[in-house]
Amino acid sequence: QMQLEQSGPEVRKPGTSVKVSCRAFGFNFTRSSIQWVRQHAGQRLEWIGWIVVGSGNTNSAQKFRERLILSTDMSTSTAYMELNSLASDDTAIYYCTSRGPLGRLDPWGQGTLVTVSS
Amino acid sequence: DIQMTQSPSSLSAFVGDRVTITCRTSQTISGYLNWYQQKPGKAPNLLIYGASDLQSGVPSRFSGSGSGTAFTLTISSLRPEDVATYYCQQSYSSPYTFGQGTKLEIK
């Protein structure tokens, strides 16, 4: 069964960084593309970016481009999202998900709550 | 960026009702439209991809249609477990934007 398992909740101060992990089970990680999406409380889903695992190519929304690092470790089938220069508006649940044909997103990780507070 | 507009924003219906949610895009996206169901406190779950293809394991009461800039998600006979927020998403061009969501409740 295809599954993504994310790391636990994080609390950070403004100006610092956070790194969220996403481990894949039950599918060929090296042939996948992992996307990251976030959701502020009660708000719509917001696409952050993606990484093509095999090539390492990345793409991200313009608003994140200067402070986002997407990476993978194929030896552990794990993807990482690092977001720098955190601000209070980065407080949200962050999801990883796998991109399939026609751009469908499935499966999804359980989500990681990142709280940015002084 | 492609703008996504869902209607209605919220909806209340009886068990057994036929429910339709609409998603409009600011430019044509061919059939690159996906629908997700999100229950409170849970991650989104893929229902429909490619505008009209039912994801494996999703009940057949869910269906999708449309092309170009106008799409619909239909639940043929509403069940209590369908209470959730539904999102459309375009996978045509980056950034892959989502609609604002439609919150579905039971009367």
Using alpha carbons, select from B105, B93, B76 the residue that is nearest to residue B33.
B93
Distance from CA of B46 to the nearest CA of A (A): 6
Write down the pLDDT at residue B78. 98
DSSP symbols for A26-39: SS-GGG-EEEEEEE
Q: What is the pLDDT of residue B87?
A: 98
pLDDT digits (tens, 9 = 90+) for B26-46: 999 999 999 999 999 999 999
B102-106 vs B10-13, strand pairing mode: parallel
Torsion sign over Cα A111, A115, A76, A48: positive
Beta-strand runs (E) in chain A = 3-6, 10-12, 18-25, 33-39, 45-52, 58-60, 68-73, 78-83, 92-99, 105-108, 112-116
How high is the pLDDT of residue B34?
A: 98
Could you give the residue ranges of the DSSP H alpha helices within chain A? none
pLDDT cut 70: percent of chain A above it: 100
- So what's the pLDDT on residue B77? 98
Confidence of residue A37 (pLDDT cuts 50, 70, 90): very high
Q: What percentage of chain B's residues is helix, strand, coil (to nearest 5)?
A: 5, 50, 50
Across the interface, whether the CB atoms of B98 and A61 are under 8 A apart is answered no
Residue A39, both tokens = 């959701």
| pLDDT tens-digit series, residues A65-83 | 999 999 999 999 999 999 9
pLDDT band, residue A112 (cuts 50/70/90):
very high
- Cβ B105 vs Cβ B75: under 8 Å: no
Alpha carbon of A75: minimum distance to chain B alpha carbons (Å)? 26
Q: What is the pLDDT of residue B82?
A: 98
pLDDT (tens place) for every residue of chain B, 107 residues total: 999 999 999 999 999 999 999 999 999 999 999 999 999 999 999 999 999 999 999 999 999 999 999 999 999 999 999 999 999 999 999 999 999 999 999 99
Please state, in angstroms and rounded to a whole number, the distance separating the CA atoms of residues A88 and A109: 23
- Residue B106 CA, distance from chain mean position: 17
Quote the mean pLDDT of chain A. Answer: 97
Over range A28-56, report the average pLDDT. 96
Q: Smallest CA–CA separation between A46 and chain B, in Å?
A: 7
Which of 12-31 (B) contact A at CB < 8 A?
31
